[in-house]
Amino acid sequence: MDPIRKLALFEQNVMPHLPAAYNLARWLTRNDHDAEDLVQEAYLRAFRSFETFQGVDGRAWLLAVVRNTCLTWLRKKGLHPTEEFDERAHSAAEQSTDAESLLLNQAALGSLNDCLEALPLEFREVIVLRELEELSYKEISDIARVPVGTVMSRLARGRKRLQQCLAGALR
């Protein structure tokens, strides 16, 4: 591809999604400075592999690159243990708390961001992609490289954990 045309196409299709890219990186890294660096790195990576972009949805494509860049970095820093989150062990604890009985109020909502930030990465990423970016289950499954069913169960469990966290913040 002609370099000038490639840059123009890239800026047209991918550049507008910078807010989404930054928001995802910021939620994954939980840190402004690292989010900035990683978004910049992700943009370079995306540009280098722009030939693989099929021209469907620049946002989902870019977010996949951002997500991979962030996870690689987190793993390298040892901040994201590679072993899978033990879902059964945690689900037992989840059921023991009756989240439904929680009366949410404005005070609880104040700690929402802290609670979301405290969620394990695999829940946090699907929640950000679903609730903040409003991507489809299929798009999230492509980005997170897990089956759609896993996306849905992680979303459900993530939401529940969030409720529990908010309940804890109220007590």
Partner 1 sequence: MNCETARLLMENNDPALAQHLLSCPSCVIRTRARYYEPPPDLEGRIRQSLRRENSTPAPWRWLAIAAAVLLAASLAWNIALLRSRTIATQLVAANVLSAHLRSLAGTHLLDVPSSDQHTVKPWFNGKLDFSPAVKDLEGFPLLGGRLEYLDGHPAAALVYGRRQHIINLFIWPSATPIAEASETRKGYNLQSWSGNGMVFWAVSDLNQAELRQFVSLYERN
The residues of the shown chain that bind partner 1, judged by CB under 8 A, are 3-4, 6-7, 10-11, 15, 18-19, 21-23, 26-27, 32, 35-36, 39-40, 43-44, 47-48, 100, 102-106, 109, 112-113, 116, 127, 130-132, 134, 159-160, 162-163, 166
| Smaller CB separation from partner 1, 113 or 136 | 113
How far apart are CB 3 and partner 1 at their closest, in Å? 5
Residues 6+ apart with CB under 8 A from 42: 21, 25, 62, 65, 66, 68, 69, 70
| Smaller CB separation from partner 1, 83 or 100 | 100
| Smaller CB separation from partner 1, 81 or 94 | 94
How far apart are CB 70 and partner 1 at their closest, in Å? 13
User: What token pair was written down for 163?
Assistant: 């409720």
DSSP-assigned states of every residue in 32-87: HHHHHHHHHHHHHHHHHTGGG--SS-HHHHHHHHHHHHHHHHHHHTT-S--SPP-H
- Distance, CA of 6 to CA of 14 (rounded, Å): 11
How far apart are CB 122 and partner 1 at their closest, in Å? 16
| Smaller CB separation from partner 1, 6 or 77 | 6
How far apart are CB 131 and partner 1 at their closest, in Å? 4
How far apart are CB 94 and partner 1 at their closest, in Å? 13
DSSP-assigned states of every residue in 95-150: HHS-GGG----HHHHHTHHHHHHHS-HHHHHHHIIIIIS---HHHHHHHHTS-HHH
| Smaller CB separation from partner 1, 19 or 81 | 19
Contact between 17 and 58 (Cβ < 8 Å):
yes
